Amino acid sequence: MFTLPDYIEPDFSEERFVSAPNARLEAAPVDKAAPRNFHAMSIFPEYFKIEGKWYLAEESRMDCVPVFEKGRIHVREFRNLRQGDMVVTGRTENCEEGIYVHVNCFDWAVRASAGSFAFRQTRSRETAFSYDYERLCELLRYEKEHNGYVVWVMGPACSFDSVARESFAKLVENGYVQALMAGNALATHDLEGAYLGTALGQDIRTQVPHENGHYNHLDTINRINTCGSIERFIQEEHIDSGIIRACVSSGVPFVLNGSIRDDGPLPEVYEHTYVGQDAIRSHVRKATTVIGMATVLHTIAVGNMTPTYRVLADGTIRPVYFYTIDTSEFAVNKLGDRGSLAAKGIVTNVQDFMHNVIRLLEL
Amino acid sequence: MFTLPDYIEPDFSEERFVSAPNARLEAAPVDKAAPRNFHAMSIFPEYFKIEGKWYLAEESRMDCVPVFEKGRIHVREFRNLRQGDMVVTGRTENCEEGIYVHVNCFDWAVRASAGSFAFRQTRSRETAFSYDYERLCELLRYEKEHNGYVVWVMGPACSFDSVARESFAKLVENGYVQALMAGNALATHDLEGAYLGTALGQDIRTQVPHENGHYNHLDTINRINTCGSIERFIQEEHIDSGIIRACVSSGVPFVLNGSIRDDGPLPEVYEHTYVGQDAIRSHVRKATTVIGMATVLHTIAVGNMTPTYRVLADGTIRPVYFYTIDTSEFAVNKLGDRGSLAAKGIVTNVQDFMHNVIRLLEL
Amino acid sequence: MFTLPDYIEPDFSEERFVSAPNARLEAAPVDKAAPRNFHAMSIFPEYFKIEGKWYLAEESRMDCVPVFEKGRIHVREFRNLRQGDMVVTGRTENCEEGIYVHVNCFDWAVRASAGSFAFRQTRSRETAFSYDYERLCELLRYEKEHNGYVVWVMGPACSFDSVARESFAKLVENGYVQALMAGNALATHDLEGAYLGTALGQDIRTQVPHENGHYNHLDTINRINTCGSIERFIQEEHIDSGIIRACVSSGVPFVLNGSIRDDGPLPEVYEHTYVGQDAIRSHVRKATTVIGMATVLHTIAVGNMTPTYRVLADGTIRPVYFYTIDTSEFAVNKLGDRGSLAAKGIVTNVQDFMHNVIRLLEL
Amino acid sequence: MFTLPDYIEPDFSEERFVSAPNARLEAAPVDKAAPRNFHAMSIFPEYFKIEGKWYLAEESRMDCVPVFEKGRIHVREFRNLRQGDMVVTGRTENCEEGIYVHVNCFDWAVRASAGSFAFRQTRSRETAFSYDYERLCELLRYEKEHNGYVVWVMGPACSFDSVARESFAKLVENGYVQALMAGNALATHDLEGAYLGTALGQDIRTQVPHENGHYNHLDTINRINTCGSIERFIQEEHIDSGIIRACVSSGVPFVLNGSIRDDGPLPEVYEHTYVGQDAIRSHVRKATTVIGMATVLHTIAVGNMTPTYRVLADGTIRPVYFYTIDTSEFAVNKLGDRGSLAAKGIVTNVQDFMHNVIRLLEL
């Protein structure tokens, strides 16, 4: 049976906590800038001593700054700082300046006892992945049963194969997807597949190029933009398959971010980079598991804002699991190496990854 | 001696041109959408017959649409279409609908005679690249002497090595760079190198990690944002090395585009994706050579808007050269395979590419 | 239903065949060397006109030379030439010198009519592979029913995952494997998995490193060498799982070739490179399908000696199918691009490839 | 100035050494097999207590076994064991069984003080390599002045570019190469370049394919085999450029190993895998620096037999430096991660690596 590891609460009666000074708070000098010597967050739980009391940053984000406001620690991007925000300063991590970074915060006892090296491994095409697939599927079942929030991050390659598209649609329809993060291309090619049967003009079933198929993604974009929204396009063109259609009909939110390489874009795409980044974070604030597939850009974007822990509504603290799937070891290790037992990478083609997940979940 | 191939003017007295119908023009039905059956541009010169006269699209862009306005063909992104814009429709390429796509438009005679396969090769780590280096350096000298416009597109890896940074600065200072396209990360790490001697906290000379070096890029961003601009930061902190400093002091424009993975961003970064895309195109409209290095995203972005030809101020038409440098064959071939003799890829580390270019240019 | 394409017999009554001169035969000047101007074989069927009659090379091999001996064309490696062997000379391909290379020899009509570009595509992580999986499984079923000879070529990564090992064993036990080509490492790690439950010391189920596990592959080799053979080791140690055990108990032959990076080697490993190469060819001479997985070296070795056609016992000629499976596009395209509709590459992790094949074959 | 780190002699007067038992010696039960519980060597210096005295294994090789014979420790491959050889048994490393593995044996003080993480880094395309190039060139100068023995290991890509070939020839002619390890392909294509101006039929200067160029490597092999040796071929065909020619005229030994993918092979190629492996080791026994370029197979082969230390003729002990050059991070990290400060990887194209080395050595 799958169980979450327990959170190890710091013992604030220890001398180092008791004798620690209060954290220093300094005002941001101008908008978008922190005071010199600002503290920057890690991916781990961090506590700050303010007026004698230790506060946990509840929704953290790496490389952002802790701001004390209205009795809580808010973790804010530099660009969202406003002049006068009270920022914690100090760069020590063990109470010296009233800051405590809680690195070993979960009790991974069973696993860790089996071998101390097990979680430091670089992943390669030669790693045995069956274990990871089984654990992942147990995790997905657990999340479904316990109101977890699974955020899927997808590159365009996820939409190029007919079976992979159908597999992901099944995950959506069966409650394994709480939010989808992607770019203009994923949505465009998925909808091209549903509308015209191709991805970039190549048949998604038979690989045969359609005549003048290089127009297909443009025709899709243009038709959607003529309709005015993806939802209206789905209605008017009777779209009945694919990733985005499944999200729309199941009410699963998706965030599509634009990029400088886009055609189009589709109407739902965020055109302002950092508004889009904030939209991603609005889902990451709830995420209990993140699965990044075949996209370096979007997976890094999400990874950068995903801490190792989540404070649930009832106050309990659990890990956030983070999976990265890519054919490239460079990508998998760049994204998957987070110094956390809850992060794993799998080196494979995302199409086959989808097949395996569907098979193991018996969908 | 380096010479450009001649442009082969279509012979409009040929029967196919004479007997061709006029191209159909239809009005865009709503903002951001073209009429059904719109024509989409290729990377090649295209001519449209309007009221009996053939018009060349002078500043083309692949996958965008030709709009006839005020006696000229304007090539417009879908997102920039406005209701009522008169769009050319039709999807044939050989005058059938008044549209002519001029694929073999340059006289590459000498080269082509040597072997018809020579320009269809996939590039790999096993390709012999000395010839490409020599041709590229001849090209760069030619561009400098003839007022060419060389646009460099750079990923962050270009800023991680001290010698590579210095090499690129020399190119800037010696007139081989007319514009730089990059993202927030390239500028951040280059300026981190100049300000604190590191890239992501690792010494750019000795590779030794600095103490608390993971703060260095954040300190750099924060200092710049406190100063309010890169230029003021360079003055106040007496920055005297690197890529961005060279551009600023030589008056070379740079376009920095934001992405959803950014920290910061720096003040000069475009926050709106498509405003940033337009900023790139404002330089590509002038480009005679484009060199994309160690960035898939930005090189694709630029590549998508770069046609194979440029109409110079005096009306002559010449090729636009397009080089892609990356350690990954996937990237090099994805970007470099443009069906044009003027596009080449080199599979190598961009640091060594810089060394080689500097050596061959004798800088 | 899966059907093989028909072979298109050359029409030897055509003028070019009738008026062709006899092929020139010249004696090899010394052992291991051909006469200057020797003809080298391609992967296609080739016919040679000798004393007025056209002879097909029945068991061909690329880059080897045709020798006429005892009324047949034998295709011989340079190293196997003996002084005086009568070698065909001439380097034309369309009857000019009595040599005919039959490139378009199969009637792929249905497929080809669907799109002439379909078979020239470079494969990447973004290719849609469901179609290939389905065709491959139809092919495997066909081969099983029609006495095909399927040669599997495997790199060590095939043995690192417990489920992948079991999957391949099922293929063996169900008659989908007629021969296995591999190296010392595949056999060593597969048998390490069966003997000690690890691959290179890491548990093949749980990924947990075993204590002193770096000894495990050496202990396996040493135990096998103490037993004197793999077969005796399997008996004495009651080995009951894995790839090699399945081959041994099902009577499927395997060829293990040594390499300069080997530990050991195991007793069955060919120590002489070219004797081992000949052992591979003894199976390739019968192969109707070849599947290379996660090994560049062995797949190239087998690919180099695999022609596009096979002459069956009843004289009919059919294609040899050739699949390459690897996470690296470089490998897949290097090996899979054979100018033949019967060659395909799939970019994925070989573990997932095995899962998919097992699932589609319903094993 | 470049200096070697001092060797830290173990202090055998320490209690752990004094109180250690003698190492157990057991006889090999049959040829090619060690006694159960055999000790296997690491890449570090290892000492064995025999009859109260500590013996260093002077010429070590990872994963081979220590045999005590004629008053010395010989490190022997399993395949070279003979029944009755007295093998050290025991798998502890800190004197418990009379075995001491001396991991931290060199005084890397200056470097280590600068940052304890510095030598554990994974190398990627984003690593700053100028420092490595500079250190490598200092090392090469040192080796030349101090009778070092630099072994170069080369894949075929080293021979595909005309300038890279000339660069390596300069290294040979200037005394920076003491031995070359490669395969049949490197020699074949290098000599094809010298003989016919191509590599695999493509011009090594201009990249233009020669007519019928796919015959060129076969014609080269055939001509050499007709001559009977590379040396005679060089004389008879007046070969005056390239890697192999430079080795022959400078008297630098080369070891060419065959593989199952070879055409040919050339007369000098080792046909028996393990005789060839022994030939490599005969050079590695003397190596003070090893540089592996663009070959996974050969670099692993050499790496597997290269310890971290060398006992010089005068008895002093120094590090063996080990560099790996490849465009693939997978290869660089697989080979370069040896747990030793003396091992480094550089992610680049080997052609550019050669250019850089030549430039920095001012050849």
Domain with residue D96: its CATH number is 2.40.420.10
What gap in Å lies between CA C280 and CA C297, rounded to an integer?
A: 13
Burial-class residue C221 by CB neighbours within 10 Å (0-12, 13-18, 19+): buried
Which band of pLDDT confidence, cut at 50, 70 and 90, is reported for residue A340? low
Contact assessment for residue A78 and residue A35, using Cβ atoms and an 8 Å cutoff: no
Same-domain pairing of D89 and D160: no
Contact C40 D258 (CB under 8 A): no
Asked if residue B213 belongs to a domain, the reply is yes
Average pLDDT over residues B213-230: 97
Contact B127 D204 (CB under 8 A): no
Could you give the angle at which helices C273-284 and C296-304 cross, rounded to 10 degrees? 60
C122 to chain B: which residues are within 8 Å by CB? 122, 333
pLDDT of the residue at C343: 85
Helix (H, G, I), strand (E, B) or coil at B54: strand
Looking at residue D96, the DSSP 8-state letter turns out to be: T
Residue of D nearest to C278 (CA): D260
Q: B188: which 2 tokens?
A: 């951040």
Q: What is the pLDDT of residues C18-65, one digit of tens each?
A: 999 999 999 999 999 999 999 999 999 999 999 999 999 999 999 999
Which band of pLDDT confidence, cut at 50, 70 and 90, is reported for residue C124? confident
Same-domain pairing of B97 and B134: no
Residue of B nearest to C334 (CA): B124
| Element spanning C183, H or E | strand C179-183
Contact D348 B347 (CB under 8 A): no
- DSSP E strands in chain A: the ranges are 24-27, 46-50, 53-56, 65-69, 72-76, 86-89, 99-101, 150-154, 179-183, 198-199, 202-203, 254-257, 289-293, 309-311, 317-319, 321-326, 343-347
Which band of pLDDT confidence, cut at 50, 70 and 90, is reported for residue A50? very high
Between B334 and D345, name the one with better pLDDT. Answer: D345
Residue of A nearest to D328 (CA): A330
Same-domain pairing of D25 and D155: no
Contact assessment for residue A204 and residue C128, using Cβ atoms and an 8 Å cutoff: yes
Which band of pLDDT confidence, cut at 50, 70 and 90, is reported for residue C119? very low
Same-domain pairing of C72 and C173: no
Average pLDDT over residues C70-74: 97
Contact D301 C265 (CB under 8 A): no
Taking Cα atoms as reference points, which of B124, C269, C306, C301 lies closest to residue D265? C301
Average pLDDT over residues A304-327: 95
Residue C321 φ/ψ, nearest 5 degrees: -85, 145
pLDDT at residue D337 is higher than 70: no
Contact assessment for residue B136 and residue B345, using Cβ atoms and an 8 Å cutoff: no
Taking Cα atoms as reference points, which of D230, D190, D215, D238 lies closest to residue C34? D215
pLDDT cut 70: percent of chain D above it: 95
pLDDT at residue A117 is higher than 50: no
Average pLDDT over residues D65-88: 98
Contact A300 B261 (CB under 8 A): yes
Q: Count structural domains, chain C.
A: 2
What gap in Å lies between CA B96 and CA C149, rounded to an integer?
A: 53
Asked if residue D235 belongs to a domain, the reply is yes
Asked if residue D125 belongs to a domain, the reply is no
Contact C124 B329 (CB under 8 A): no
Bridge partners, residue A202, by sequence = A199, A209
Asked if residue B339 belongs to a domain, the reply is yes
* Sign of the alpha-carbon dihedral angle for B296, B298, B301, B305: negative
A333 to chain D: which residues are within 8 Å by CB? 122
C40 to chain D: which residues are within 8 Å by CB? 214-215, 218
- Amino acid identity of residue D327, one-letter, is T
Taking Cα atoms as reference points, which of D244, D308, D306, D258 lies closest to residue D281? D306
- Among the three residues C85, C101, C117, which one is the final residue of a domain in this structure? C101
Helix (H, G, I), strand (E, B) or coil at B340: coil
pLDDT at residue D115 is higher than 50: no
Asked if residue D115 belongs to a domain, the reply is no
Which band of pLDDT confidence, cut at 50, 70 and 90, is reported for residue C208? confident
Contact assessment for residue B40 and residue B55, using Cβ atoms and an 8 Å cutoff: no
Q: What is the CATH number of the domain that holds C352?
A: 3.40.50.10690
pLDDT of the residue at B313: 95
pLDDT of the residue at A141: 97
pLDDT at residue B112 is higher than 50: no
Taking Cα atoms as reference points, which of D190, D182, D191 lies closest to residue D280? D182
Same-domain pairing of A155 and A267: yes
B334 to chain C: which residues are within 8 Å by CB? 124
What gap in Å lies between CA D353 and CA B349, rounded to an integer?
A: 10
What gap in Å lies between CA B48 and CA B67, rounded to an integer?
A: 10
Q: Which candidate in A214, A260, A277 is best for mutational testing of the B interface (most B CBs within 10 A)?
A: A260
Looking at residue A188, the DSSP 8-state letter turns out to be: H
D210 to chain B: which residues are within 8 Å by CB? 115
B126 to chain D: which residues are within 8 Å by CB? 156-157, 160
Rounded to the nearest angstrom, the minimum Cα separation between A122 and chain C is: 12
Residue D340 φ/ψ, nearest 5 degrees: -140, 140
Same-domain pairing of B145 and B27: no
Same-domain pairing of B55 and B145: no
What gap in Å lies between CA D356 and CA C180, rounded to an integer?
A: 44
Contact assessment for residue D121 and residue D341, using Cβ atoms and an 8 Å cutoff: no
What gap in Å lies between CA A326 and CA A317, rounded to an integer?
A: 29
Same-domain pairing of B78 and B182: no
Given C118, C157, C349, which is nearest A208 (Cβ)?
C118
- Amino acid identity of residue D2, one-letter, is F
pLDDT of the residue at D114: 36
Asked if residue C67 belongs to a domain, the reply is yes
Contact B209 D164 (CB under 8 A): no
Q: B280: which 2 tokens?
A: 């790139």
Length of chain C: 363
pLDDT of the residue at C233: 98
Same-domain pairing of B270 and B336: yes
Looking at residue A209, the DSSP 8-state letter turns out to be: B
Contact A63 B218 (CB under 8 A): yes
- Chains A, C: CB contacts within 8 A come to 126
Same-domain pairing of C75 and C183: no
Contact D352 B347 (CB under 8 A): no
What gap in Å lies between CA A157 and CA A295, rounded to an integer?
A: 8
Contact assessment for residue B287 and residue B147, using Cβ atoms and an 8 Å cutoff: no
Contact B333 C122 (CB under 8 A): yes
- Residue C329's domain comprises 130-361
Between C208 and B66, name the one with better pLDDT. Answer: B66
The residues of D whose Cβ lies within 8 A of any Cβ of B are 114-115, 117-118, 121, 125-132, 156-157, 160-164, 199, 202, 204-210, 294, 327-328, 346-353, 355-356, 359
Average pLDDT score over chain B: 93
Which band of pLDDT confidence, cut at 50, 70 and 90, is reported for residue C118? very low
Taking Cα atoms as reference points, which of B36, B27, B32 lies closest to residue B85? B27
Contact B122 C122 (CB under 8 A): yes
Same-domain pairing of D279 and D223: yes
Contact C125 B333 (CB under 8 A): no
Q: D252: which 2 tokens?
A: 């630098």
Query: How large is the C-alpha radius of gyration of chain C?
Result: 22
Which band of pLDDT confidence, cut at 50, 70 and 90, is reported for residue A119? very low
Asked if residue A111 belongs to a domain, the reply is no
Q: Chains near C, with 3+ CB pairs < 8 A?
A: A, B, D
pLDDT of the residue at D239: 98
Same-domain pairing of B81 and B140: no
Q: Which candidate in B300, B333, B337 is best for mutational testing of the C interface (most C CBs within 10 A)?
A: B333
Asked if residue D10 belongs to a domain, the reply is no
pLDDT at residue C2 is higher than 90: no
- Cα B2 from chain centre: 22
Q: D33: which 2 tokens?
A: 């097999």
pLDDT of the residue at B117: 36
